[in-house]
Amino acid sequence: SKSIFFTVAFGPAFSTLMVLTAGGGPVQTAAFIYQGTGHDLSWLEFALYGAPMTLGLCACLYTLLRLLFPVDKEAFPEAGNLLREAVAACGPPSRKERSIAVILAVTIPLWATAKVLHPVDPATIALLAVAAVFCPGVMDNNFAPAWKALSNKVAWGTMMLFGAVLSLGQALLDSGAAAWLAGATLVRAGMGEWPLLLLIVTGSLLFSLFGLAFSARSAAIGALTPTIIGFAQSLPPERQIPVWGLTLVMNYAVQFAILFPANSPMAMIAITSNSFTSRDMIRLALPLTAAGFALIALFSLTWWPWLGVL
């Protein structure tokens, strides 16, 4: 059970490194990069740049889980039968479930081909998908949502958090405060003259440490991404390092930096299962985070320069 719930705790964070629509974090990252640098990342570009990080971290997670929390395969000889019985007990898919599956089967390819086969952006596609859910025949025939009923089910705190962090990030970019902060600290410390690999690894480490102060990745990205952009813009122009590329790479460290259950909503939900303790999570997260920085260093020398990100 530890391995299953650790996968729940870490897996969604890793998916946000390559799937633009996997959560609020990657959408914020792409939006800030566009606002700060003018570089517009498509769904496929985001996946291409981040796929090695996601796959590498997933492989490291699987290896560490097998090493730290080994499972005796012989202890579950009837596992296959139990799973088949559980699936059979669910019965055939309902009409609503089939309708939602069709909507997903259409939405995901539309996301993946945005700005390649059609000009519709992912946000508009998401709105159209939500609208399709409320079409007649998808939900129950007597389903007539009223504002009073729906408003009681909306996570207003989450919406306010997204609105606040987006406004904060926009203000940091527009006012120049992010560039000033980066220039007064990181650039003045001489980091702008460092070799590119040392610059990326050290900067990623610093921003990931700052990210541990937040309990939501969206809040961390909203506060730190403008500062990363400001830092990248403060580097000497003769170095010819793409601002958007350096921002994207350093932002990866902010998104996968999870050491404690309080560092992400997914981990907070997973720990409520009582399947693992905070100490178990630290045992797993420390080597996993170290592997993440090793992957950043590796791909900073290979994958990202090949694709023109760095």
pLDDT for 164: 65
Q: Hey, how many other C-beta atoms are within 10 angstroms of the C-beta on 62?
A: 12
Are the beta carbons of 254 and 197 closer than 8 angstroms? no
Is there a contact between 281 and 71 (Cβ–Cβ < 8 Å)? no
Let me know the angle formed at the C-alpha of 65 by 251 and 79, rounded to the nearest 5 degrees.
Answer: 125
pLDDT, one tens digit per residue, over 207-236 is: 888 777 776 677 778 778 888 888 888 777
| pLDDT at 189 (0 to 100) | 65
Handedness of CA 87, 92, 95, 100 (dihedral sign): positive
Model confidence at 158, pLDDT cuts 50, 70, 90, reads low
Residue 86 pLDDT > 80, yes or no? Answer: yes
* Coil/strand/helix, residue 140: coil
pLDDT (mean) for 96-105: 88
Q: Whats the size of the chain, residue-wise?
A: 310
How many whole angstroms separate alpha carbon 48 and alpha carbon 45?
5
Nearby residues of 258 by Cβ (< 8 Å), 6 or more positions away: 9, 10, 13, 264, 267, 285, 289
Token readout for 269 is 């939900």
Which has the closest alpha carbon to 293: 224, 213, 205?
205
Check: pTM over 0.95? Answer yes or no: no
